[in-house]
Structure 1
Amino acid sequence: MLGMSNGVIERRSIDVVPDSERHGTPISQFTLWFGANMQVTAVVDGALAVVFGADALWAIIGLLIGNVLGGIVMALHSAQGPRLGLPQMISSRAQFGVYGAVVPLVLVVVMYLGFAATGTVLAGQAVNKILHVDDAAIGIIVFGVLTAVVATLGYRWIHRLGRIATVCGVIGFTYLGIRLLVTVDVGALFGAKPFTWATFLLAISLGAGWQLTFGPYVADYSRYLPRDTPERTTFLATFLGSVIGSQWSMTLGALVAAGGAGFLANQVGYLGSLAGPSAVGVLIYLVIVIGKLAVNCLNAYGGSMTILTTVSAFTRTAAFRPAVRAAYTSAFLLVSVLIAIFASADFLDNFKNFVLVLLMVFTPWSAINLTDYYLISRERVDVPALYDPAGRYGGWNLVALGSYFLGIAAQIPFLAQKLYTGPLTDKLGGADISWLVGLTLTAAVYYPLARRTTTPPEQMIYP
């Protein structure tokens, strides 16, 4: 099996995937991202829009707008994969420098841990329902082991899991939707609350934030596609898979939050009870586990890639053996499992704040990466220089780092967080538009400065 060690375990890490090992079609991007978004955490994310005050109808519309806007940014990152043949975050060295890229890399690791831990809490509840046990730690540990196995096997197996998750998600979530229609007067849920801009913009932010936080690792899963794969095709397959899958899940979440009295207290248990007979409930719990396993493998695989990229900046290593990647993946998952065991209280409130905090950190990174790749470098990257701090991109790029921190700082007055609400947020009625400020301002500042200081190659340079 090309690109694999011993025919099973992927042998590539942060090195370039050569043309001889490229395989697959863009449809794999659709099934991967559709399956990864047909899962319970996306349901919770959609429910948050209603929990924090939006009417169900306006919440669904706002979530759709956010998913589309964020999905465009996310899919533009995915389109980089076939051309570069690299994991997503190592390409950040072309903007930030070999050492400077460590700054967003470390924050990406924190993001991976947060999503892995919070998702494992919900998946662990579903595992416990299937096994009929009460100890939360058992379900969390079992789920962590399952994630470790698939993430260690690597790229091909993660895509296979995405196809399984797509089929299971469509069947399971369609059934839950039908059950909701026959048990709840869905029509009565629309218009139950007055429209307010603050809650509508919050719904948009939740949808956009969900998509934007995929940006730092989406190219990890498109880098094996043949180099001549059209960028438009990769973009559309990723965009449609992620937006349709997430919107489907979030719509269900908004409806169950508006019409399900028991959902807030026990999200996983509510979906199981909505399924009806206990035997069918077990199947829904299995669908929940498969969906969460698909996205958690992305977290673990991408987390290990990001850690290896960080380490390689100082060791000058361009590739790592499968055993090393497996060790980093296992260590990452061990930490996420420990977090899941000891930090599962107040899940809904903590998750809402976690998503919005991540928005503040990653929208400036996306703005810089995409502005440089598509508008300044024009898809021309000196790949060998990404591994050499004495090369074209240097150790530190002060223009990118300055623009990045400015983009973060500019969002603070617009934040609507549990511990801090910005002064301009109050004037907007509590609406959080920090992600939009960070995205546009960072690009506006970085573009003219980078045009004067950046010297991209005349054409792509591969090893």
Structure 2
Amino acid sequence: MDQHRSQHPPNADGSGGSGLIETRSIDYVPARERRGKVWHQGPFWFTGNFVLTTMVTGFIGPALGLSLGGSVLAVVLGACFGTFFMAFHANQGPRMGLPQMIQSRAQFGIRGAIVPFAAVVFVYVGFNVFNVVLATQGLQTVLPGGTTLWYALLIGLAIVLAVVGHDLLHVVQRWLTYLLIVVFGVLTVGAIAHLQPHAGTTSGGSTFTAFLVVFSAAAGYQISYAIYVSDYSRYLPKDVPAKKVIWWTYLGAAGSAVWLMSLGSLLASALPNPDAIAGLRQVGNDILPGFGTFAVVVSSLALISIMAVNAYGAMLTSTSAVDAFRKVRPTVKARVAGIVVIELVVFAVALALPADYLANFNNFVLLMLYFLIPWTAVNLVDFYFVRRGHYAITAIFDPRGIYGRWSWQGLTAYTVGFVAMIPFFATSFWTGPVAKALGGADISFAVGLLVAGVLYYVLTRGLDLSAEEAAIAASDRALEGEDAEGPEAHNGTPLAV
């Protein structure tokens, strides 16, 4: 595994120093520290999405009475649609050398970015709560121990992985990919051969409504990954082809989502009481006694890995939020403290989670969609159509810089986009008037993307990009200076601005 070189200069042969724990945080990754292979994005996001929570998303269609064919079609289209936006964020990592969410300061302002930051931390914590619950249930099928004990152990392991950081997470995800493909390949063949799915119970308008609910859930689930894509592509060389970064990310994330969500739909269509853990055990043990239990254990281990990925991202986002109001020196100690605090919150929420977590999970996926859609629209429109990938990186850390503390264009587009979605919301606790008129169909994601994206583009038409050129040039000179001096010159601190 390549080691981070932010505390040690490279050796004559180009190899890194001997440090184990990642030292970079929300700061810029200099060109001389860039390395890695672009195809590694594929297995990283394949395993990142190949977890039991992904399969649970596939349960939604059959639970609403949708047929297996309709459920599979809905998750395939929804997952492919949502991954489209997520994958295009991956290209921002190599171009900017920054974690995903801190880049939002260019659209929302140094302090204004706290608005999407708050929603994102909610997503991270929510996902890790569901992940630790499922992982605990899986391991308790073969091992003793109470819920509280397992929560503590699993969260502790996730903390260790997140603290070591980027490189270890990439290696773990890559090797888990090979194991998961083999195990779930056998499970999928066995499920197709042994299970008999029942017919759907919906008809007419209710079928269309159920289809849209599943489509939105699958799309929202995938879009939720957009919040940390660049966290794991920011160490790639600057000149890596954009198409390769985007497509490797897309193939990995969409491939595992389509596979596992479809398998979830099959299990839910054939089993009287669908449950992720029990379903896997039953199908696997029908193939070979004990194989189902083995598959559950493997799946639980994969959940630990993605819990670490979520904790890592939550630390970066929360650090970015605090740094906007009180300057944070992104040291290793600060990284560790941020990760531990986030996971303590996860631990507390998991202990308080109601027994009917699946119903809550469905609502959670929809809430993610609602809060993240306007952000992803604004962020992508800015990167690809407004500023076209040209940013003054040092100004992203400077409240007096060109991006300012608050950016009314980004905040307005986000707020209006979110408000425009409200009449189209359809959840178990509230349904908007337009959604009611459509029979409960939720098309808010399309409204949010269109309104927030188009409005942001319109509001920034008067932006004087030529005035930013001097700041970008000064930033480039400063970044080149850091690269020439070596990473030890800044010791993991954002460039002075």
**Normalised TM-score (structure 2):** 0.89
Quick one: which of 232, 236, 245 aligns to 2:243? 232
Distance 1:82 1:190 in 2: 47
Contact kept, 8 Å, 1:56 with 1:191, in 2: the verdict is yes
SS in 2 for 1:9: coil
Q: Which residue of 1 aligns with 2:425?
A: 415
Name the aligned partner's letter for residue 272 of structure 1: R
SS in 2 for 1:12: coil
Q: Is 1:148 aligned to 2:159, yes or no? A: yes
Distance 1:136 1:272 in 2: 20
| 1:67–1:440 CA distance, 2 compared to 1 (3 A) | same
Name the aligned partner's letter for residue 61 of structure 1: L
> Deviation string for 1:242-264 (max 9, x for gaps)?
0001110000000000001232x
CA-CA distance at 1:58 after TM superposition: 1.0
Contact kept, 8 Å, 2:92 with 2:230, in 1: the verdict is yes
Contact kept, 8 Å, 2:114 with 2:321, in 1: the verdict is yes
SS in 1 for 2:58: helix
> Deviation string for 1:75-112 (max 9, x for gaps)?
11111100101000010000000010011111111111
Q: Is 1:117 aligned to 2:129, yes or no? A: yes
Q: Which residue of 2 aligns with 1:361?
A: 371
Q: Which residue of 2 aligns with 1:2?
A: 4
> Deviation string for 1:35-94 (max 9, x for gaps)?
111111110011112212321111111111111111110011111100101000010000
| 1:128–1:278 CA distance, 2 compared to 1 (3 A) | farther
Q: Which residue of 1 aligns with 2:229?
A: 218
Name the aligned partner's letter for residue 123 of structure 1: A
| 1:238–1:207 CA distance, 2 compared to 1 (3 A) | same
Quick one: which of 69, 77, 94 aligns to 2:106? 94
SS in 2 for 1:297: helix
Contact kept, 8 Å, 1:96 with 1:396, in 2: the verdict is yes
> Deviation string for 1:410-437 (max 9, x for gaps)?
1110011111100100111111111111
| 1:23–1:130 CA distance, 2 compared to 1 (3 A) | farther
Larger CA deviation: 54-63 vs 302-311? 54-63
Q: Is 1:349 aligned to 2:359, yes or no? A: yes
SS in 1 for 2:403: coil
Q: Which residue of 2 aligns with 1:273?
A: 282
SS in 1 for 2:88: helix
Q: Which residue of 2 aligns with 1:405?
A: 415
Contact kept, 8 Å, 1:118 with 1:344, in 2: the verdict is no
SS in 2 for 1:130: coil
| 1:269–1:185 CA distance, 2 compared to 1 (3 A) | closer
Q: Which residue of 2 aligns with 1:38?
A: 50
| 1:262–1:274 CA distance, 2 compared to 1 (3 A) | farther
Quick one: which of 158, 165, 178 aligns to 2:189? 178
Q: Which residue of 1 aligns with 2:327?
A: 316
Q: Which residue of 2 aligns with 1:208?
A: 219
Contact kept, 8 Å, 1:86 with 1:219, in 2: the verdict is yes
Q: Is 1:429 aligned to 2:430, yes or no? A: no
Quick one: which of 374, 381, 387 aligns to 2:391? 381
Q: Which residue of 1 aligns with 2:491?
A: none
SS in 1 for 2:176: helix
Unaligned stretches of 5+ residues in structure 2: 8-17, 480-497
Contact kept, 8 Å, 1:76 with 1:235, in 2: the verdict is yes
Quick one: which of 146, 153, 158 aligns to 2:169? 158
CA-CA distance at 1:193 after TM superposition: 5.0
Quick one: which of 442, 446, 461 aligns to 2:452? 442
Q: RMSD in angstroms over aligned alpha carbons?
A: 1.7
CA-CA distance at 1:363 after TM superposition: 0.3
Q: Which residue of 1 aligns with 2:483?
A: none
Q: Is 1:305 aligned to 2:316, yes or no? A: yes
CA-CA distance at 1:139 after TM superposition: 2.2
Q: Is 1:250 aligned to 2:268, yes or no? A: no
Q: Which residue of 2 aligns with 1:198?
A: 209
SS in 2 for 1:160: helix
Q: Is 1:18 aligned to 2:18, yes or no? A: no
> Deviation string for 1:309-360 (max 9, x for gaps)?
111112234x511121011101111110221122042111100001101111
Name the aligned partner's letter for residue 26 of structure 2: I
Name the aligned partner's letter for residue 262 of structure 2: T
Name the aligned partner's letter for residue 283 of structure 1: F
Distance 2:120 2:258 in 1: 24
Q: Which residue of 1 aligns with 2:272?
A: 261
CA-CA distance at 1:301 after TM superposition: 0.3
Distance 1:352 1:191 in 2: 20
Q: Which residue of 1 aligns with 2:67?
A: 55
Name the aligned partner's letter for residue 341 of structure 2: A
Q: Is 1:128 aligned to 2:140, yes or no? A: yes
| 1:191–1:102 CA distance, 2 compared to 1 (3 A) | closer
Larger CA deviation: 154-163 vs 173-182? 173-182
**Normalised TM-score (structure 1):** 0.95
Distance 1:400 1:17 in 2: 26
- The count of residues paired between Structure 1 and Structure 2 equals 457
Distance 1:419 1:193 in 2: 21
Larger CA deviation: 271-280 vs 330-339? 271-280
SS in 1 for 2:140: helix
Distance 1:200 1:50 in 2: 10
Distance 2:84 2:19 in 1: 35
Contact kept, 8 Å, 1:74 with 1:218, in 2: the verdict is yes
Q: Is 1:283 aligned to 2:285, yes or no? A: no
Distance 1:232 1:367 in 2: 20
